[in-house]
Amino acid sequence: MILSEERISYLSHLILKEMKVISGVRFLQEEERVIQEIQHIMMSELKLEEQIDQMARQRLASYSRRIEEGSPEWDILYKKFFEEELKRRRRF
């Protein structure tokens, strides 16, 4: 999913706002630094998702017989490949 910088900024401010009302949450950095870190994490996650999407699509395209995108078979295999790759990249 592609998000504009404005949308990421807006969402990061919403996240910070919600974090402020959580009991026991204390910030060790200035709010602007926290917002920057939230934005960095969001962009990293979106980039990872895009890379995994491309990998899953390439894997589906490599099949000897063509599987029509949007078909139930394509959807099932795409989800399976996406989740496998996501688990592989997030080993923690």
Per the structure, the count of domains in the chain is: 1
18, 45, 52, 76 from 73: Cα distances, Å: 40, 27, 19, 5
Whether 25 maps to a domain, the answer reads no
Range of the structural domain that residue 15 is part of:
5-20+32-89
pLDDT tens-place string over residues 44-85: 999 999 999 999 999 999 999 999 999 999 999 999 999 999
- Mean pLDDT (the chain, rounded): 93
Whether 70 maps to a domain, the answer reads yes
Query: SS3 string of the chain?
Result: CCCCHHHHHHHHHHHHHHHHCCCCCCCCCCHHHHHHHHHHHHHHHHHHHHHHHHHHHHHHHCCCCCCCCCCHHHHHHHHHHHHHHHHHHCCC
Dist CA 72 CA 16 (whole Å): 39
Q: Is the pLDDT of residue 91 over 80?
A: no
Whether 27 maps to a domain, the answer reads no
Whether 44 maps to a domain, the answer reads yes
